[in-house]
C-alpha cells in the first residue's frame, strides 16, 4: 500500500493493520517515506488516535527498524526503568547500581535533558572521562561483569524513532499518547529487556500536569509493553517539587554519591528509589513480594554494595576509579556558591518546579537550543522540601553560578518559586498510583 493510502485511512479514523504499519515504518527507516508524509501520518494519529493493537504494531515496527540487543549469554534477569522526566530526578543513577547489586542486569539507555527537565546523560558527562557512547563490546562487557551500564542511545537502536521524533518536535504532534508510547517503548524494547518499570511523573514539574492524563499515558505504556512481550508496570509519582535536594548536573552527581554513601536516609528520594528497586525485583521474579524486595534493596544500599557497583561502572566506562572516595577532586565546582534565603517566616507550602528547571537552564545548566553547550557546574542544591518551617533569612537552598551576577539572579529567581504560608501543607503521597495488567 502506498504511504499516502495509509495516511488517508488513518486520517479517516480507520484501524491500520500490522502489515500496513510495518511497511510504513520501513519506509520511514529507508527514506522512501518523505518528511511530509511522516508529518501527515503523525498528525492523523494525533487527531484519530490508535487502538492498542495498532500501537503495539507501531512500537514493534519502530523497535525492529534497527538493532535489537540480545543478552542470552547473561545469567541474570534483564530489567530497566524509564522516567517521563522531572526536575531533580536522578533516580536512575542510584537505581541501576542498587538493582545490579541485588542480582539484576540493567542495560540502561538514557537521554539528554528535554525542555525544563534534566537529562541523565548530561549529568553523567559531569564525570571526567565517562563515556556515554561506548562501543557495543564495552557496553556488553560492563553489563555482564558489573551488572549495569548507563549509556546513550546509539544510532543503531530504533532509528525510525529518531526520525519520527524530530518531525513531531516541529509539527506540534509530540503530545500524542500512541506516539509517545511507541517512542519510549521502541527504544526500551530494542535494549532486549525482559521487564520494565515506568516512572510516570505528574505535577507542575512534569510534562503531564493532570492526573487523568498521566494515568492514560501510564496505562497505554503498560498495556502496549506487555502486549509486545515485556513484563511492565508503572508507578505514577508526584512532581510538584524537585525530587532530589539538587537540580543541575554535577550537583546531582554529588547528590547521587552522597545517597549511595547513606547520607540521604529518610528522604523522599530514598523512598522513591527503594520503591522502584522493589518493583524491578518483583517484576523480574527475583523476589515474590514487595516487602522482601524493599528490604533486599535497602540492604544493598546500606551495605555499600550499590556504591561499589556504581564506582565500578563509572571506572569501566572511562571515569576515575576513586570517584566515590574523592568526588570533590573530579566534579567541577562553580566559582560562586550563594545561599538562597526565605523572604519571610512560615512553612514552605508550594514550589513552581518547572520554574526551578528553567532556572537551571538560565544559569547555563541546560539547553535553549540543541547545539548549546552545558555548564555542568551550575544549578541548585541543599533545597528544602515542602513542609519545612523557616524563619525570615533562613537558607532554603544554594545557587551554584558562573559569576556573581548570575548567582544574584539565580538566588532571587529560586526564592520567588517557593510559596510560604503560616500553616504547614498537607503531606502528599510520593507514589500516587500503581498501574499493571
353 a catalytic residue = no
For the chain, helix, strand, coil in percent to 5 are: 45, 15, 40
237-266: buried (b, 16+ CB within 10 Å) or exposed (e) per residue? bbbbbbbbbbbbbbbbbbbbbbbbeeebee
Active site residue 188: yes
Q: What pLDDT band is residue 174 in, cutting at 50, 70 and 90?
A: confident
Residue 304: is its pLDDT beyond 70?
A: yes
Tell me what the mean pLDDT of segment 359-380 comes to.
Answer: 86
Range 247-274 average pLDDT: 97
Catalytic residue chosen out of the listed positions 6, 29, 59, 83 = 83
Of the candidates 162, 168, 268, 398, the residue annotated as catalytic is 168
Catalytic residue among 10, 22, 63, 80: 80
> Average pLDDT for residues 252-278, to the nearest whole number?
97
Please name the residue ranges forming H helices in 118-175: 120-124, 136-146, 159-169
Spot the catalytic one: 10, 63, 76, 81.
Answer: 81
Enumerate the H helices of 108-150 as residue ranges.
Answer: 120-124, 136-146
Q: What is the pLDDT of residue 352?
A: 96
Predicted local distance difference test score (pLDDT) of residue 396? 98
Tell me, yes or no, if 17 is annotated catalytic: no
Domain coordinates in residue numbering, the chain: 79-152+193-326, 334-421
Lowest mean pLDDT segment, chosen from 190-194, 278-282, 337-341: 190-194
pLDDT tens, position by position, 190-203: 999 999 999 999 99
Q: Residue 291's pLDDT is what?
A: 97
The whole-number average pLDDT for the span 108-134 is 84
Confidence (pLDDT) at 246 = 97
- Give 19's contacts (C-beta < 8 A, 6+ positions apart): none
**For the chain, percent of residues with pLDDT exceeding 90:** 84
Res 115 pLDDT > 70? no
Whether the pLDDT of residue 436 is over 80: the answer is yes
Yes or no: say if 357 and 247 are a contact pair by the CB < 8 Å rule. yes
Instruction: Return the pLDDT at 372.
Output: 74
Average pLDDT on 223-243 reads 94
28 Ramachandran zone, left/alpha/beta (phi>0; psi -120 to 50): alpha
Per residue in 382-412, pLDDT tens? 999 999 999 999 999 999 999 999 999 999 9
pLDDT digits (tens, 9 = 90+) for 57-94: 999 999 999 999 999 999 999 999 999 888 999 999 99
**pLDDT at residue 124 is higher than 80:** yes
Q: What does the pLDDT read at residue 317?
A: 98
Is 231 tagged catalytic? no
Active site residue 195: no
Higher pLDDT, 176 or 128: 128
Q: What is the pLDDT of residue 165?
A: 84
Q: Does the active-site annotation cover 168? A: yes
- pLDDT for position 370: 60
Average pLDDT of the segment spanning 360-368: 86
Confidence of residue 117 (pLDDT cuts 50, 70, 90): low
Give tens-digit pLDDT for 12-37: 999 999 999 999 999 999 999 999 99
Q: Are 249 and 363 in contact (CB under 8 A)?
A: no
pLDDT mean over 414-428: 95
Residue of 188, 338, 376, 377 with catalytic role: 188
Q: Which CATH architecture does the domain made up of 79-152+193-326 adopt?
A: 3-Layer(aba) Sandwich (3.40)
Residue 290 clears pLDDT 80, i.e. is over it:
yes
> Worst-scoring range by mean pLDDT, 47-56, 180-189, 398-407?
180-189
Helix/strand/coil for 324: coil
pLDDT in the model for residue 155? 76
Alpha-carbon gap, residue 334 to 87, rounded angstroms: 20
Q: Domain spanning 334-421 has what CATH number?
A: 3.90.1170.30
Q: What is the pLDDT of residue 371?
A: 67
What local confidence, expressed as pLDDT, does residue 113 receive?
Answer: 62
Mean pLDDT of 329-341: 97
Q: Which of 10, 82, 377, 398 is catalytic?
A: 82
Region 223-236 average pLDDT: 94
Grid cell for residue 192: 532486549
Is 333 labeled as catalytic in the residue annotation? no
Provide the pLDDT for residue 114: 61
- Give the integer Cα–Cα distance in Å for 205 and 116: 8
- Residue 280 buriedness (CB in 10 A; 0-12 / 13-18 / 19+): buried
Per-residue pLDDT, 368 = 67
C-alpha dihedral (396, 402, 407, 409), degrees to nearest 10? -120
pLDDT of residue 330: 97
| 152 band by pLDDT with thresholds 50, 70 and 90 | confident
Mean pLDDT of 107-114: 77
In this predicted structure, what is the pLDDT of residue 111? 72
Task: Identify which of 348, 369, 325 has the alpha carbon closest to the alpha carbon of residue 416.
Answer: 348
Q: What is the mean pLDDT of residues 344-357?
A: 96
- Catalytic residue among 187, 231, 377, 398, which? 187
Average pLDDT, the chain: 94
Rounded (10°) CA dihedral 135, 137, 139, 144: -170
> Residue 400: what pLDDT?
98
Amino acid at each position: 500500500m502506498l504511504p499516502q493510502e495509509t495516511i488517508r485511512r488513518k486520517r479517516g479514523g480507520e484501524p491500520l493493520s500490522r502489515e500496513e504499519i510495518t511497511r510504513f515504518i520501513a519506509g520511514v527507516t529507508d527514506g522512501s517515506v518523505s518528511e511530509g508524509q511522516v508529518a501527515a501520518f503523525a498528525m492523523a494519529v494525533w487527531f484519530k488516535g490508535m487502538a492498542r493493537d495498532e500501537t503495539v504494531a507501531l512500537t514493534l515496527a519502530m523497535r525492529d527498524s534497527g538493532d535489537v540487543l540480545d543478552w542470552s549469554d547473561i545469567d541474570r534477569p534483564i530489567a530497566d526503568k524509564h522516567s517521563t522526566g522531572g526536575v531533580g530526578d536522578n533516580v536512575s543513577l542510584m537505581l541501576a547500581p542498587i538493582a545490579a547489586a541485588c542480582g539484576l542486569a540493567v542495560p540502561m539507555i538514557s537521554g539528554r535533558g528535554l525542555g525544563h527537565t534534566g537529562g541523565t546523560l548530561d549529568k553523567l558527562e559531569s564525570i571526567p572521562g565517562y563515556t556515554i557512547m561506548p562501543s557495543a563490546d564495552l557496553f556488553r562487557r560492563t553489563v555482564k561483569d558489573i551488572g549495569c551500564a548507563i549509556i546513550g542511545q546509539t544510532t543503531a537502536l530504533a532509528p525510525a524513532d529518531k526520525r519520527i521524533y524530530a518531525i513531531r518536535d516541529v509539527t506540534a504532534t509530540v503530545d500524542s499518547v500512541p506516539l509517545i508510547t511507541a517512542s519510549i517503548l521502541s527504544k526500551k524494547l530494542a535494549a532486549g529487556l525482559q521487564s520494565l518499570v515506568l516512572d510516570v511523573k505528574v505535577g507542575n514539574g512534569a510534562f503531564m500536569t493532570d492526573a487523568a492524563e498521566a494515568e492514560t499515558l501510564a496505562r497505554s505504556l503498560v498495556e502496549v509493553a506487555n502486549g509486545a512481550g515485556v513484563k511492565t508496570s508503572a508507578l505514577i509519582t508526584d512532581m510538584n517539587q524537585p525530587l532530589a535536594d539538587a537540580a543541575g548536573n554535577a550537583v546531582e552527581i554529588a547528590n547521587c554519591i552522597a545517597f549511595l554513601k547513606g547520607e540521604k536516609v529518610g528522604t523522599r528520594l530514598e523512598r522513591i528509589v527503594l520503591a522502584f528497586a522493589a518493583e524491578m525485583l518483583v517484576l523480574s521474579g527475583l523476589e515474590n513480594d514487595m516487602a522482601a524486595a524493599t528490604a533486599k534493596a535497602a540492604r544493598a544500599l546500606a551495605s555499600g554494595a550499590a556504591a561499589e557497583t556504581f564506582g565500578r561502572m563509572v571506572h569501566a566506562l572511562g571515569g576515575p576509579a576513586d570517584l566515590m572516595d574523592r568526588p570533590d577532586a573530579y566534579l567541577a565546582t562553580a566559582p560562586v556558591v550563594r545561599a538562597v534565603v526565605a523572604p519571610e517566616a512560615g512553612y514552605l507550602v508550594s514550589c513552581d518546579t518547572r520554574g526551578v528547571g528553567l532556572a537551571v537552564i538560565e544559569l547555563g545548566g541546560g539547553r535553549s537550543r540543541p547545539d548549546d553547550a552545558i555548564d555542568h557546574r551550575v544549578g541548585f542544591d541543599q533545597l528544602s522540601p515542602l513542609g519545612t518551617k523557616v524563619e525570615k533569612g533562613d537558607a532554603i537552598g544554594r545557587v551554584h553560578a558562573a559569576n556573581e551576577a548570575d548567582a544574584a539572579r539565580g538566588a532571587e529567581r529560586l526564592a520567588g518559586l517557593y510559596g510560604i504560608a503560616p500553616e504547614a501543607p498537607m503531606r502528599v503521597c510520593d507514589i500516587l498510583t500503581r498501574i499493571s495488567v
